[in-house]
Amino acid sequence: MKLTAYFREFFLRNGLTLGVFLLTAVAFWMLVLILLPQVFMVDFSLRHNLPPAAVGGPQDVYTLEHFKFMLYGSEQARGSYNTVDLSVFFRTLLAAVFVTIFDFALCYPIAFFLAKVAKGGWARLMVLSLLVPFWVNELLRAFAFRIVFGNTGVINAVLIWAGIIDQPIDFIRENIALYAGLSYAFILLMIFPIFNAVESLDSNQIEAARDLGSPWWRIHWRVVMPFAKPGITSGCTMVFMLSAGALASPQILGGPSSLWFTQIIYQWFQTGNNWHRGSAYAIVLLASTIIFVLIMMKVFKVKLGEIAG
Amino acid sequence: MKSDYLMRIAVLLFVAAFFTYLFGPLVTMGLTAFNSSEFPRVTPWDCFSVEWFNVLAHDNELMHGVRNSLIIGIGVIALSVPTGLAGALMLTQIGPRIRPWYYTIVIAPILIPGVVLGISTLVFWDSLGRLFQAGENSIFYNGLFLTIVGQSAFISSYSMLVFISRLQRFDPALEEAALDLGATHVQAFRKVLLPFLKPAIGSAAVLGFLASFENYNTTVFTVLTESTLTTVLASKVRYGINPSISALAVAIVALTLIGAVVFEIAKRREQAESIEASRVARGEIAQRAKRRGIWADPVLLMFIAICVAAAGGIYLRGTTGVTECKANVLKARRAATQRKIKELRARRMFQQAAPSEQTGTAAGSKPQQKIEAEGTKGYRNVFAPQNLEEQASGKKKKKIEAPGTKGYSNVFAPRNLEKQAIGKDKAKE
């Protein structure tokens, strides 16, 4: 009854044509584009990988096979853990955390500098120039890092020329190129939320803290960072989620002996020909990153609403 | 204040380092597009050339991908701008209790890894296709359609954010006034709200197109047997790279920069006009100055002229004398290779002159075996005692050898040396 009243009011306010448009568009987006695909993916991950003829037959029952596979490996090798996939999984999460911390350490000073220190035309030019690298395709950015970090790349050439090393360092095998490339890819996503948050801080607060004799690091620790916490959190969340879910950079910059978790998912789809298992792995990735972010928010005492606002 | 001064220097150094990190790789990549070397690199510099742009223009696979990317981009705009608009309008109308839930659902696609979105879209439409028993050529298995749908899931969120920020500045009284004056809802929407949202529609479309054009994570799953610019690029970069990819990057950056400048000029014109209009309205000036169309704007014309001149200059410089320059580089490289071979030969002679000394020191702990080994030369048996010695002496030798010969097991084959030395120069990575 309440619902019909609600809808009546909705159509009264918007008129019939517009109301129908709004409802269909939003319903299409939420259901067909977002929610149903996720539901189907979960359903898919809980089924056996059967030949097309057997789909829907008596064998087509729900199973946890694919999740078990990620934990314990194939049926024959039960008893020990699936160390290959699990180590890739944890290494990916750890590396994503590392990339996030690195990006924060790099971007917080820059964001503060742009918001509070830099003035006038220079500040505007710097903000604009931050955008330029992000007009370049993600793959091309990774490609650029491959050139820079390659065996005959600029960095090795400079180091050899300076006499610091006499053999080129294999940055790609050491995954240094990958971490540098991933951190690079998400700089903008870290800077802008922090920049927005810091900019809205009243500069008088900083002045007051300084006048009261606070050293610069304590001003940041006790005044600026607590104020900018929502911005910092949303920046860190985005960088963490996106670097854990990155595919292009690890494919291009990853060392030959190390994989990113998304690459395993990709392999199940493209070469392993087991979409069910790939879906299961994708769900593990999605769930674990979300849970990790929620735990971190709890640790740092940030509420979800603060970020959205 | 000395510490203040130091602090300022430290900050400036940090900012400088940051922007080097930001632009260094891109500038390096841009330079490699103009180096005639087969492998994208800056050092050593061979010849200034534009041949890689030529290679790029004749790359049919890539051009096919670009075409598909354009189609997908347009499809994504058509789908995501209306849904984003509807999503933003809906947000202003729903009650405070379901509002956080609604917001979480529609904003989630931005945070969900693109890989997951691609997979879920693929699986969903695949299941639907099976449900309706659709054929292979139906829409459910069409890579372009799936990609449009998959990308729109999160690009709609982007455009919704754009509309939300614009709607925050909208005065609802305007719409109410229109309704009070007898306009229908559709009329009020079309005549009041849409004109107000026009700039936001433009930015949402541009943003959506760019996001779609450069998306890889979602696309690689949904595109199936088709290809887009990004999937072609990814396979190219993974299986051997050449500077035509750098050339593509240069082209993209140049186009976007030109687009940004043109956009900026157009925006300034619009601002100037609106200021003039308000001055006319206040009676400060009698009439607006007459302006020609945007294409006759002097700043724009100058900018176009500069661009054309720069492109022409680069083209001329990059096509004249390249062949001679390349021949010279090749000659110099051959000479260097010859020199290297000579050096290696001399070193080899030196090593052959004193081989027993080395083995003596290396296998000194097993003198018995060493004597036996003298007689077992030529055996390739795993159990031959000489094997041990070879390994031991090999280790010693490596230290004496030049750094250039690192990793070659068969130092004693001169043909080998030559091949390696040439090959190394050619296919350095």
- The DSSP line for B291-323 is ---GGG-HHHHHHHHHHHHHHHHHHHHHHTTHH
Among chain B residues, the shortest Cα distance to A265 is held by B115
Q: How far, in Å, CA of A201 to CA of B39, rounded?
A: 49
Among chain B residues, the shortest Cα distance to A253 is held by B238
Q: How far, in Å, CA of A159 to CA of B218, rounded?
A: 38
Is B189 near chain A, with CB under 8 Å? yes
CA angle A210, A211, A215 (to 5 degrees): 35
Sign, CA dihedral B39-B41-B44-B48, equals positive
pLDDT of residue B78: 94
Query: How distant is the Cα of B243 from the closest Cα of chain A, in angstroms?
Result: 10
Quick one: A97 exposed, middle or buried, by C-beta within 10 A (0-12, 13-18, 19+)? middle
**CB under 8 Å to B383, separation ≥6 — which residues?**
none
**Paired tokens of A278:** 């790939």
Among chain A residues, the shortest Cα distance to B188 is held by A14
pLDDT of residue B402: 44
| pLDDT band at A202; cut points 50, 70, 90 | confident
What are the helix and strand counts (H, E) for chain B? 18, 0
Which stretch of DSSP H or E encloses residue A91? helix A83-112
Angstrom CA distances, B132 to B71, B119, B126, B311, stand at: 26, 20, 10, 54
Please tell me whether residues A16 and A91 are part of one structural domain: no
Angstrom CA distances, B69 to A38, A98, A190, B144, B151, stand at: 25, 33, 28, 9, 12
Cβ contacts below 8 Å, chain A against chain B, sum to: 248
Contacts of A279 in chain B (CB under 8 A): 119-120, 123
| Domain assignment present for A252 | yes
**Paired tokens of A249:** 């950079």
Contacts of B19 in chain A (CB under 8 A): 126, 129
Q: Is B73 helix (H, G, I), strand (E, B) or coil?
A: helix
pLDDT tens digits along B225-279: 888 888 888 888 877 677 888 888 888 888 877 877 777 777 777 777 778 778 8
Is A238 near chain B, with CB under 8 Å? yes
DSSP A134-197: GGS-HHHHHHHHHHHHSTTSHHHHHHHHTTS-SS---TTTTTHHHHHHHHHHTHHHHHHHHHHH
Do A140 and B234 count as a contact with CB atoms less than 8 A apart?
A: no
Please tell me whether residues A168 and A266 are part of one structural domain: yes
Contacts of A289 in chain B (CB under 8 A): 113
**CB within 8 Å of chain B, chain A residues 55-114:** 55, 106, 109-110, 113
Q: How far, in Å, CA of A170 to CA of A168, rounded?
A: 6
Is B120 near chain A, with CB under 8 Å? yes
Do A132 and B112 count as a contact with CB atoms less than 8 A apart?
A: no
pLDDT of residue B101: 84
Please tell me whether residues A134 and A262 are part of one structural domain: yes
Please tell me whether residues A86 and A28 are part of one structural domain: no
Do A146 and B241 count as a contact with CB atoms less than 8 A apart?
A: yes
Q: Is residue A294's pLDDT more than 70? A: yes
**Paired tokens of B384:** 């031959």
pLDDT of residue A306: 56
What is this model's ipTM? 0.84
Torsion angle of C-alpha atoms B206, B212, B215, B220, degrees rounded to 10: -170
Q: How far, in Å, CA of A263 to CA of B247, rounded?
A: 28
Please tell me whether residues A101 and A177 are part of one structural domain: yes
Q: How far, in Å, CA of B341 to CA of B349, rounded?
A: 12
pLDDT tens digits along B16-61: 888 888 888 888 888 888 887 777 777 777 777 778 888 888 888 8
Is B9 near chain A, with CB under 8 Å? no
Q: Is residue B344's pLDDT more than 60? A: yes
pLDDT of residue B289: 67
Among chain B residues, the shortest Cα distance to A17 is held by B186
Do B252 and A237 count as a contact with CB atoms less than 8 A apart?
A: no
pLDDT of residue B242: 78
Contacts of A89 in chain B (CB under 8 A): none
Neighbouring CB atoms inside 10 A of A297's CB total 17
Q: How far, in Å, CA of A126 to CA of B120, rounded?
A: 39
pLDDT of residue A295: 87
| pLDDT band at B376; cut points 50, 70, 90 | very low
CATH number at residue A242: 1.10.3720.10
Contacts of A122 in chain B (CB under 8 A): none
Average pLDDT, chain A: 82
Is B318 near chain A, with CB under 8 Å? no
Range list of β-strands (E), A35-74: none
Q: How far, in Å, CA of A183 to CA of A176, rounded?
A: 11
Please tell me whether residues A118 and A196 are part of one structural domain: yes
Query: How distant is the Cα of B61 from the closest Cα of chain A, in angstroms?
Result: 17
Q: How far, in Å, CA of A279 to CA of B121, rounded?
A: 11
| Domain assignment present for A55 | no
Among chain A residues, the shortest Cα distance to B264 is held by A128
Of B90, B127, B216, the CB nearest to A247: B216
pLDDT of residue B294: 66
Instruction: Quote the crossing angle between the two packed helices B355-362 and B385-400, to the nearest 10°.
Output: 110
Number of domains present in the structure of chain A: 2
Q: Is residue A215's pLDDT more than 70? A: yes
Query: Can you tell me the mean pLDDT for B154-160?
Result: 91
pLDDT tens digits along B314-334: 888 777 777 777 788 888 888
pLDDT of residue B295: 67
| pLDDT band at B70; cut points 50, 70, 90 | very high
pLDDT tens digits along B100-113: 888 888 888 888 88
Contacts of B1 in chain A (CB under 8 A): none
Among chain B residues, the shortest Cα distance to A20 is held by B86
Q: Is residue A245's pLDDT more than 50? A: yes
Please tell me whether residues A101 and A6 are part of one structural domain: no
Choose among A251, A139, A283, A92: nearest CA to B229: A139
* Type of residue numbered A142: A
Q: Is residue A309's pLDDT more than 50? A: no
pLDDT tens digits along A73-128: 776 666 677 777 888 888 889 989 999 999 999 888 888 888 888 777 777 778 77
Angstrom CA distances, B348 to A224, B191, B305, B355, B360, stand at: 66, 87, 61, 10, 18
| Domain assignment present for A131 | yes
Instruction: Quote the crossing angle between the two packed helices A176-185 and B2-32, to the nearest 10°.
Output: 100
Please tell me whether residues A14 and A148 are part of one structural domain: no
Percent pLDDT > 70 in chain B is: 79
pLDDT of residue B398: 41
Contacts of A152 in chain B (CB under 8 A): 39, 41, 43, 428-429
pLDDT of residue B185: 80
Q: What is the DSSP letter of B289?
A: P
| Overall pTM > 0.90 | no
| Domain assignment present for A70 | no
Spell B290-308 as b/e; 16+ CB within 10 A means b: eeeeeeebeebeebeeeee
Query: Can you tell me the mean pLDDT for A14-25?
Result: 84
**CB under 8 Å to B328, separation ≥6 — which residues?**
none
| Domain assignment present for A44 | no
Q: Evaluate whether A36 touches A46 at the Cβ level (below 8 Å).
A: no
Domain segments of chain B: what residues? 2-53, 61-242, 260-320, 322-426
**CB within 8 Å of chain A, chain B residues 40-79:** 40-43
Please tell me whether residues A291 and A203 are part of one structural domain: yes
Q: How far, in Å, CA of B50 to CA of B316, rounded?
A: 9
Is B199 near chain A, with CB under 8 Å? no
Do B11 and A148 count as a contact with CB atoms less than 8 A apart?
A: no
Q: What is the DSSP letter of B290?
A: P
Neighbouring CB atoms inside 10 A of A240's CB total 23
Of B7, B15, B124, the CB nearest to A37: B124
Do A266 and B189 count as a contact with CB atoms less than 8 A apart?
A: no
Q: Evaluate whether B159 touches B166 at the Cβ level (below 8 Å).
A: no
Q: How far, in Å, CA of A290 to CA of B4, rounded?
A: 43
Query: Cis ω on the peptide bond leading into residue B44 (within 30° of 0)?
Result: yes
Neighbouring CB atoms inside 10 A of B166's CB total 18
pLDDT of residue A41: 87
Contacts of B217 in chain A (CB under 8 A): 245-248, 262
CA angle A139, A242, A30 (to 5 degrees): 110
Is B364 near chain A, with CB under 8 Å? no
Q: Is residue A243's pLDDT more than 60? A: yes
Q: Is residue B387's pLDDT more than 50? A: no
**Paired tokens of B25:** 């790789």
Q: Is residue A136's pLDDT more than 90? A: no
Please tell me whether residues A137 and A221 are part of one structural domain: yes
Q: Evaluate whether B322 touches B47 at the Cβ level (below 8 Å).
A: yes
Q: Is residue B191's pLDDT more than 90? A: no
Which one has a higher pLDDT value, B284 or A205? Answer: A205
pLDDT of residue A260: 86
Sign, CA dihedral A163-A165-A166-A169, equals negative
Please tell me whether residues A19 and A121 are part of one structural domain: no
Q: Is residue A275's pLDDT more than 60? A: yes
| CATH code assigned to B61-242 | 1.10.3720.10
Of A21, A279, A308, the CB nearest to B103: A308
CB hemisphere CA count around A95 (13 angstroms): 28
Q: Is residue A289's pLDDT more than 60? A: yes
Of A126, A154, A265, the CB nearest to B42: A154
Which structural domain range is residue A6 located in? Answer: 1-33
Is B254 near chain A, with CB under 8 Å? no
Sign, CA dihedral A232-A234-A237-A242, equals negative
**CB within 8 Å of chain B, chain A residues 109-138:** 109-110, 113, 117, 126, 129-130, 132-133, 135-138
Among chain B residues, the shortest Cα distance to A290 is held by B112
**Paired tokens of A19:** 């109301």
Query: How distant is the Cα of B369 from the closest Cα of chain A, in angstroms?
Result: 36
pLDDT of residue B173: 86
**CB under 8 Å to B353, separation ≥6 — which residues?**
none
Contacts of A189 in chain B (CB under 8 A): none
**CB under 8 Å to B247, separation ≥6 — which residues?**
B33, B52, B53, B55, B56
